Structure 1
Amino acid sequence: MRKPVAFLTASTTAWAVLSVLAPGAQAATQTFSPTHIYLNGQDVTNPVHTTAVDPSSKQPTTFLPIYYAMQVLNKLGIQSAWDGHTWSLTVPSSITVNLDNPATSPNQMSIAINGKVVQTAPKLVAKDPASGQDTTFIPIWYLSQVLNRLGISSTWDGTNWRLTQTKPVTQQDMANAMWQVLNATTWDVNSHPSMSDAGVNPTNAPVTAGDVATWLGDWASKAKGYVAHPYNNSSDMSYRPWSLQYEASQDPYTWATINGLYQGTSVSSGSSVITSADESTILANLRWWVTGYKTTSDGWVQLHLPFYSHYNEWQLVLGNVLTQAQYNQMMADDTTYFDEVKVKQSGSNLLVALPDASKSNLAWQVGDGSYTWGYSHGPSGQGFYGGITLTVPNKGPGLTIRMASLNADAHGLTIAYVNTDGGLVYGQPYDIMDLQYPSSSN
């Protein structure tokens, strides 16, 4: 085979060489273009890049020489070694690494972090115009997946590859921000415990999703709970404490995930380190949760299952009506689908958009004190599974939304909202199935 020959095409200011894409592949002509690699805003090196078809996706993708990527990572204290098949990165303890969900699909090369393969990728072997030596080129897209695991975000515009090393959010930073949200929460809160009161002792170590969920549960165990207050005369005026035992999961991270705390973030497990980009989204989701609603850009009010004690519902487990697993599934279904309910006022009516919950065999019932739509009581009910938008007269004492799991003998929750002067008070939801009724003054 003839050796690759490099030449400069003046009209395009690009290099072209005769290259080999992979061992045994047919030779082809590659075109190389100039590249700028920026690290935290500084232009640190200027190799070339080329485009070739990714054998996995069958789509064109951009390749860079591995040598230059190694040099950039070296500036961050990340050592690397390349043996022709595996690119091994050694990352110092000062950099938080995410080793969750490693890519395992076979490919032409592997990338390992601290000995664990996290990514496989195609490669391209060609002569580097700068050195005149054959070198391995690797695709930017696959490189970016690995860098994300190191807290390094990247953007590629066709010429410039900009890398930004994000500073991990510390436990102290996140706890401070969470407590600002929690201290501003007034509905259904008995007290505002300090971090110390809740047993939360943050440090300057990077914060994980598991930390956030655990702290939230610690806060709720001190801040939440209410005295049952039925409309009818009753001797049951006992205090309903809050406990993770009564929730959809007894694992803090799973419980928080079911309640949407990590929606829209890169979090994939309890050990995921929270980045600065994730922090603001988590705090917004926390406000949605503790407030009970948020207004979307199209003017709808999206509800959230209220953040209060489910002590009464959990008596189904204590009384051996449901197993813990059945109870957890019921509560997870209720939470997931209730969090998708949207409401909008339309003249003298309310539009209530109910998600289709047929996959979970979850039935809905909606009323306003005089109008009622939905399933019949009991497990033999028809089951109105949603997937529709109801037009409900807005003239009763308020809106009630009941969910019942037909898989769990039609047990579930009934959430009520008070109507004040024709408007629903979304920020004060009541669980009337748990004897949490509005006071007579509302």
Structure 2
Amino acid sequence: MTNPDLVLVLRYRKAVTYGFHVLLGALEEHETATAYEVVFAETPEATISEIEAGLSRAKRVLVLWSFYSPDAEALAAELTTIKAAAPGALHVAGGVHATAEPVQTLDAGWDVAAIGEGETTLLKLVDAGGDPTGVTGLAYRDAAGQVVKTGRPERLPLDTFRGFSLRWHRFNALEITRGCAFSCRFCQTPFMFSARFRHRSVENVRWHADQMRERGLRDIRFITPTALSYGSQDESPNLDAVEELLASCKEGIGPNGRVFFGSFPSEIRPEHISVEALRLVKKYCANNNIIVGAQSGSDRILDAAKRGHGVEEVKRAVHLGVQEGFRINVDMIFGMPGEDQTDVDASLALARELAELGARIHAHTFMPLPGTPWRDAQPGDVDPDTITAVDRLSQQGALYGHWQRQREHAVRLAAAAEAYPRPGRSRTLPIHPLSE
């Protein structure tokens, strides 16, 4: 067999498999003159081995990384170890953190930061034999140490690329909507993918369901920032489009298959919940639980966060959900910017009220995520009395989540934001030129 021009090593971690599968779905249909191989590295040790093996047979090795902002610091330490043990590869970071903080990503040790949506960028990188020079959607440092940004890649309809990979047998929940018209100040989604919806067509979703059924897969789930916004281009739900989607998927996945909607890994906005919507889920779907995004029990904080709904809509959503026989999981964020004791008390009161109805609270601590309007806010500060109250709910089985770990992530993110102020503020950055 002829040696490849390029080896793509995927630093393959459970937390980011969906993004890699979408990239592979785009790659498997792409015609290119570049002879390439794809390998999966599930540990740092495997990554080192695959780099060494790749360099022994290919002209260039690209290591593809994808991560969320809370993971950036730990993975940068891993990257340092890998580069020391196996030099010579080009390390490319993608995902929301690299998009929001490309310079910080480069200074952490990655050679290239992919900015924005990755499908077209990866295809052009492959066409270029792994040479990032001039490929749209990247940032890197030139030989003089200057940051080069090649501009954002073209945003294409979701139907353009497959939502998972048949060639590499990598399946996942299917992304049916990208972008979000609700520009919540704490969320990275609308600021990475734009504050508008792009939906995968029903016909295209059905193709994916058929492929899953033919391969013996039984469950189909969806990735979407707001499930009942499917088919809509504004803030109102489009239940006709939702029913068309669910009916087609239920038929496509077959009598032995199951459709899940409005449960992990997606959620439903509280003001979108109605008896009609809930009964659509009951008619076509297997899940008996749904996730509702409340975020706060204070109307003042919800307004500051630009959530677009109030506390009464949250209460109404939970009442309707319980009435229709669903177990409701309610997302709430503690320590949001500007929150005072009155706001904290309101959130705790709402949590207790909803728990008494039978809901479970999914607790989070506010994290100042890169790329969001609240990127420079202080990390979530949860006082001891609030911690005690939240712990009590947890012990009663009414609350769950990694909110304590998120407090630690929030502090690190705030420190990184302070070290990398937004443009217009003075800053001194170390220089790490693009690897040869």
TM range (shorter): under 0.3
Greater RCO, 1 or 2 (C-alpha within 8 Å, sep 6+): 2
Q: Which has the larger radius of gyration?
A: 1
Q: So what's the TM-score if we normalise by structure 2?
A: 0.26
Structure with higher strand content: 1
